[in-house]
Amino acid sequence: MFTGLVSDVGELIKVEERGQLRRMRVACHYDPDSIAIGASIAHSGPCLTAVEVAREGNRTIIDVDAAAETLALTTLRDWQVGQRINLERSLRIGDELGGHMVSGHADGVARIVAKREFDGMTYFEFQIPAALAKFIAQKGSVALDGASLTVNTVDGDRFSVLLIPHTLAVTTWGERQEGDLVNIEVDQMARYAARLIEAKTG
């Protein structure tokens, strides 16, 4: 489990295609001694397992594998060397829950259809697959590229968020532009609520 609070921004430094598996090497600033083989780390949303960990200079190098389903549902299939990635280590008992409960299982991708900057903040509007629209609620939570964000407005299959300067500075969101695709994970509570409603009316 994760909280959607990005704790580092990594860089993709190597990609190796292995049939339906994609091995990716990510450089970051985590302490390598604190990352065990098999550890779960969210990479701009999707949870990936560390299969190799090493130190190179002043950076930690982590190898992760993305399987066919993850590649089909997320933006990971399009990542190239140089890609910057929002990272979050898995939640530990006793950690502060500052965002919302995030599983690291992306539901699909959202497209940025509008961007507006003002007063150091940035307004983004997104379009999402119609099947996900019922899980997005005004003032509810959503994870976008691994960051826990609050929904401002909802209009059909579109919704908006407003990012403050701190979030823009410590994540990759300051680099996002209109037309970009980002990974989306809907709020788990919204998912369960919608399922209960379907069960009652079905």
Question: Which active-site residues does the annotation give?
Answer: 2, 40, 47, 49, 67, 105, 150
| Element at 170 (helix H, strand E) | helix 165-170
95: helix, coil or strand? coil
Q: What gap in Å lies between CA 154 and CA 146, rounded to an integer?
A: 20
The C-alpha angle with vertex 31 and arms to 26 and 32, in degrees rounded to 5, equals: 65
The answer to whether the CB of 36 falls within 8 A of the CB of 46 is no
Q: What gap in Å lies between CA 97 and CA 25, rounded to an integer?
A: 28
In sequence order, the 6+-apart residues with CB closer than 8 A to the CB of 55 are: 32, 61
